[in-house]
Structures are given as structure tokens and as C-alpha cells.
Amino acid sequence: MKIAAFQQTLRDTYLERDSRRGTDATFRWLTEEVGELARAIRDDDHDQLVHEIGDVLAWLTSLANLAGISLEAAASRYANGCPRCGRIPCACAFVR
């Protein structure tokens, strides 16, 4: 599925509900899902990782929809490699 199509599907499915919830509450749901993703990483549970990454992606997309941000436009920053050094693979000094 293309990013724009995914974003449109989530817009069609959830925008009305997300709009009632608001940006702040939607962001809090996203952070909760990131926490669940962290737990799946710690547990090294592949099926749960797939589930939680999907949830994080969906909530991030909902947040982008509320903010009027195209995910394709946001992702284009990385289309030619590292946005800092412009290389593939990244040649920036490792930062922890």
C-alpha cells in the first residue's frame, strides 16, 4: 500500500473521531502505543512487534491528518538518504 493511500484510508476511517478527540489526546494515544512497542521490543515478540508497529504507524498517521501534514511530504526528507549528510548509508558520526 502506498503511503498516501494508507493516509487517505485512515483519514476516511478516523478523521471525524480524531477531530473530536483533538490533537493533544491523539498524541497521548500515540505515546501509549510507543510504550506498547517498547514492551514488544523488550519481549522480542515478532507478532506483537508487527501489531504495535502498525498501531504506532496508524496513530502517527492520525496525528498527521489532524495537523494537515502529508506523510509523503514528511517522508520525502529521507528520500535521498540521510538528510544531514546526504549519503546512503549515512556517514554522520555515530550519535548515541
List, for residues 82-94, the tens digit of each pLDDT value.
Answer: 999 999 999 999 8
Question: Into which CATH architecture does domain 3-78 fall?
Answer: Orthogonal Bundle (1.10)
Closest by CA to 67, choosing from 4, 28, 2, 11, is 11
Closest by CA to 41, choosing from 26, 58, 28, 33, is 33
CB 10 within 8 Å of CB 61: yes
List, for residues 8-67, the tens digit of each pLDDT value.
Answer: 999 999 999 999 999 999 999 999 999 999 999 999 999 999 999 999 999 999 999 999
